[in-house]
Amino acid sequence: MKGRIVVGLFIGLLIAGSSFTNNSVQYNEAVARYYDDGLDSLLLQLKIFKKAALQKKGTPALKNHFFLCRNQYKKVSFFIEQFDTRGARLLNGPDLLRIEDDTQNDTTFPHGFQHIEAILFEAGFSQQELQQEIGIQIDNVEKLRYAPDHQFYFRNDKVWEALRSGTYRIISMGITGFDVSLSLHALPETKFQLSAIRNIISLYKDDIENKDTTLYNDAIRACNKAILAIPAGADFNRFDRLSFIKNQLNPLSECLARIAIALGYVNVAQRSPLNPMAEHLFAADIFNIDFFSPNERYRMTPERIALGKALFYDTKLSVNNSRSCASCHKPELAFSDGLNKNMHIDGSSPLLRNTPTLLNAVFQTRQFYDSRALVLETQLDAVVHSKEEMGGSLQEAIPVLAKDEQYNTAFAVAYKNDKEPISQYTIANAIASYIRTLVSFNSRFDRYVRGQSSDYTAAEKNGFNLFMGKGKCGTCHYAPMFNGLVPPLYEETESEILAVPADKSAKPKPDEDQGKFLHTKVPLHQYAFKTPTLRNIALTAPYMHNGVFTTLEEVVDFYDQGGGAGRGIHLDTQTLPADSLHLSATEKKELIVFLRSLNEGQ
């Protein structure tokens, strides 16, 4: 604990002595040249790969060329992923069709490295298809290489933001095998990315040493330690990811933060999901809550939070004063309700879906299982006005609340600058402000990975390593929130199609709820549901959008079997890999032990 305070004080002193200077927005020609040279080398490797494919070289040789291309890509990937999300998706996106939620006519077909891997690792693959996809990859890299005005990317502050983002992506995607789920080439190429980060740091050697020689030496040493921590031929399934994160990547992230702050390369005014002053990805303050609300008007204040908490537990917003928010979101159950599905407010029938936790609901850019709401205020409005859930009306609640002296005063104080302190918006915003405080980021796992505690069992450690490795859980439930908030930018909340069964029978049918499709009407979104957080999951049973599974053991078995496909439910659009994970009984137990360690305050 003392170490944490010392680091915090040190960073505070650095902040006091530095600012976001003109030097921070200067274009760095040396870094831009490194990027251009890296893309040139990638193009060369891709052309050699294409030539080998045209010559119909054997599969081992082609796979080797593929790995050489991926290694080269990793030398510049952290810049591409930070500055050009569409370009990164084209080069290295999942091997899945994609339709944007907000531009539903914009369909992205799978191309890039992950699609090439899928072709290359298929028995009897098509040489012609492989050649075509390599050609598409060459075209996409050339577009990046010769994009106009890309110099804007290489401002000093942007470069250091990309370096830190690169370490975050290694943790949340790189070492999970997200990019190379078939070849499991993740660990070798991680070494190339770490070497590239070290190379960029070295371009700033003089600037860093002018501030503090130890800062430069510490950063280079941290890179070297991380590289050496991945031995040649490291086994993907046996690699100790938890130690790697705790002992190598977190310290490297801290070094990068200290340098960026010392050189004045941190733009604290920038609107971003991640706090640029945080030490590393698992720091308690890593997320910027203000990013997840539209603008200044939505911001929390102590008065709004207190008012929202009172409203959360009040029944005045529902028909006949029969239900409050807390009726279905119980604090002792991590703000879920323990039911498969709660009941229609008149008690006549079950609701459509299971009640999700509200803990960390703020850290999503989409709300509801079907992602139909963008902010908590919109979600609250929809729930209150739902005839099935609360049957109320925010408009009709205004005079009711105005007649209550305590509420009338509280609204007047909390929204003193609003012409009408009690309105549909202020009611929704007050409750949303309270929900934004329901942050859970202090489990035993968190305290261990931050170095604040050594209280973590061998089974829990093994469970985390399974989660982030062999079990492939971390490829959809991304660290550190273990939800669908997509790294490394953490701006998009993802959905998945799991083919969840309607019941536990031997030959189940898919659940009839069509998920996101009911909102978007896009066929590709049928049975798609938002990826929820796994924090506090031991308190939020039953599981899935329909509450079909009662225990974590049942959930782990479902994933181990390959989702719905493993139970005979065949959906062409299932995004979860359909092959079995082949987890042993011991591995399943360890995975569940880790999940239980994500309980807040445990």
Say if residue 431 is in the same domain as residue 513.
no
Domain boundary among 201, 216, 241: 241
Query: Domain total for the chain?
Result: 3
Output the CA–CA distances (angstroms, integers) from residue 386 to 27, 345, 381, in the order listed. 53, 10, 9
CATH number at residue 155: 1.20.1420.20
The whole-number pLDDT of residue 102 equals 55
Q: Which of 363, 381, 437, 338 is nearest to 372 (CA)?
A: 381
Same domain, 479 and 527: yes
Widest CA span in the chain: 83
CA 563 – CA 395 distance, rounded (Å):
44
What is the distance of C-alpha 228 from the center of its chain?
27
Cis peptide before 273 (omega within 30 of 0): no
- Whole-number pLDDT of residue 107: 63
Average pLDDT over residues 286-291: 94
Of the three residues 435, 457, 487, the one that is the final residue of a domain is 435
Which residues are CB-contacts of 61 (< 8 A; sequence separation ≥ 6)? 52
Spatial CA neighbour of 532 closest among 389, 334, 377: 334
Per-residue pLDDT at 17: 40
Quick check: 91 pLDDT over 90? yes
Specify whether 407 is located in the same domain as 475: no
d(CA 189, CA 90): 19
DSSP states of 293-318: SSSGGG---HHHHHHHHHHHT-STTS
Token pair of 206 as six digits: 């003089």
Phi, psi of 336, deg, nearest 5: -115, -165
In sequence order, the β-bridge partners of residue 109 are: none
Clarify whether residues 426 and 524 are in a common domain.
Answer: no
Asked, for residue 390, whether it belongs to a domain, the answer is yes
Q: What phi and psi, each to the nearest 5 degrees, are found at residue 278?
A: -70, 150
Residues 226 and 305 in one domain: no
What percentage of the chain exceeds 90 in pLDDT? 87
Report if residue 285 sits inside a domain: no
Residue 19 has pLDDT above 60, yes or no: no
Q: Is the peptide bond before 577 cis (omega within 30 degrees of 0)?
A: no
Question: Does residue 319 sit in the same domain as residue 220?
Answer: no
* Whether the model pTM is above 0.75: yes
Q: Would you state the pLDDT for residue 24? A: 75
* Structure tokens given for 111: 């191309």
| Averaged pLDDT score across all residues of the chain | 92
> What is the structure's pLDDT at 110?
81
Residue 174 within any structural domain of the chain = yes
pLDDT at 8 over 60: no
Name which residue leads in pLDDT, 30 or 96: 30
pLDDT of residue 104: 57
Instruction: State the Cα–Cα distance between residues 120 and 571, nearest whole angstrom.
Output: 24
Residue 215 lies in a domain: yes
Phi-psi region of 320 (alpha: psi -120 to 50; beta: other; left: phi over 0): left
So what's the pLDDT on residue 14? 40
In this model, does residue 141 exceed pLDDT 80?
A: yes
436-461: per-residue pLDDT in tens? 999 999 999 999 999 999 999 999 99
Q: How confident is the model at residue 16 (pLDDT cuts 50, 70, 90)?
A: very low
Taking CB atoms within 8 Å and a gap of at least 24, the contacts of 104-107 are 104/520, 104/522, 107/524
Q: Do 485 and 529 belong together in one domain?
A: yes
pLDDT higher than 70, residue 196: yes
Q: Is the bond preceding 356 in cis, omega lying within 30 degrees of 0?
A: no
Q: What is the pLDDT of residue 9?
A: 31
> What is the pLDDT averaged over residues 239-251?
98
Closest CA to 196 of 73, 14, 111, 346: 73
**Residue 27 banded pLDDT, cuts 50, 70, 90:** confident
Give residue 23's pLDDT.
73
Q: Measured between alpha carbons, how far is 544 from 162 in angstroms, rounded to an integer?
A: 35
Q: How confident is the model at residue 434 (pLDDT cuts 50, 70, 90)?
A: very high
DSSP 530: E
Region of 338 please: left (phi>0), alpha (psi -120 to 50) or beta.
left
**Is residue 112 included in any domain, yes or no?**
yes
CA distance 412 to 419: 10
- Residue in 507, 561, 502, 555 with CA at minimum distance from that of residue 527: 502
Peptide bond into 231 cis (omega under 30): no
For residue 99, being part of any structural domain is answered with yes
Check whether residue 338 and residue 381 sit in a common domain: yes
More confident residue, 1 or 344: 344
* pLDDT range class, residue 585, cuts 50, 70, 90: very high
Flag whether 8 is in a domain. no
Give the pLDDT band (50/70/90) at residue 149: confident
Residue 339 Rama label (left phi>0; alpha psi -120 to 50; beta): beta
- The residue out of 210, 241, 272 marking a domain boundary is 241
In this structure, the answer to whether residues 521 and 587 fall within a common structural domain is yes
DSSP annotation of 546: T
- Given a cut of 90, is residue 151 above it in pLDDT? no
| 7 within domain boundaries | no
Name the token pair of 149: 């005005």
pLDDT greater than 80 at residue 100: no
The token duo for 170 is 């290694």
> To the nearest whole percent, how much of the chain has pLDDT over 70?
94
Cα separation, 194 vs 224, in Å, equals 8
Q: Which of 379, 321, 422 is nearest to 530 (CA)?
A: 379
Nearest one of 85, 80, 45, 40 to 66, comparing CA atoms:
45
Verify that 310 and 235 share a domain, yes or no. no
Q: Is the pLDDT of residue 499 over 70?
A: yes
Q: Residue 533 corresponds to which tokens in the numbers above?
A: 């957080």
**Among the ranges given (36-40, 96-100, 252-256), the one the predictor scored with the smallest mean pLDDT:** 96-100
DSSP string over 56-110: T--HHHHHHHHHHHHHHHHTTHHHHHHH-HHHHHHHH--SS-EE-SS-TT-EEPP
Do 511 and 554 share a domain, yes or no?
A: yes
Q: Which domain holds residue 343?
A: 296-435
The crossing angle, in degrees rounded to 10, of helices 405-414 and 394-403 is 110
More confident residue, 407 or 25: 407
Same domain, 236 and 357: no
Separation of alpha carbons 304 and 310, rounded Å: 10
Which of 11-15, 37-41, 316-320, 350-354 has the lowest average pLDDT? 11-15
CB neighbour class for 468 (10 Å; exposed up to 12, middle 13-18, buried from 19): buried
- Is pLDDT at 1 greater than 50 in this prediction? no
For residue 288, pLDDT beyond 90: yes
**Within 13 Å of residue 571, how many CA atoms lie on the same side as its CB?**
27
We report the CATH number of the domain holding residue 421 as 1.10.760.10
Residues written for the chain: 602
Long-range contacts of residues 405-408, Cβ cutoff 8 Å, at least 24 apart: 407/307, 407/310
Report the amino acid identity of residue 64: N
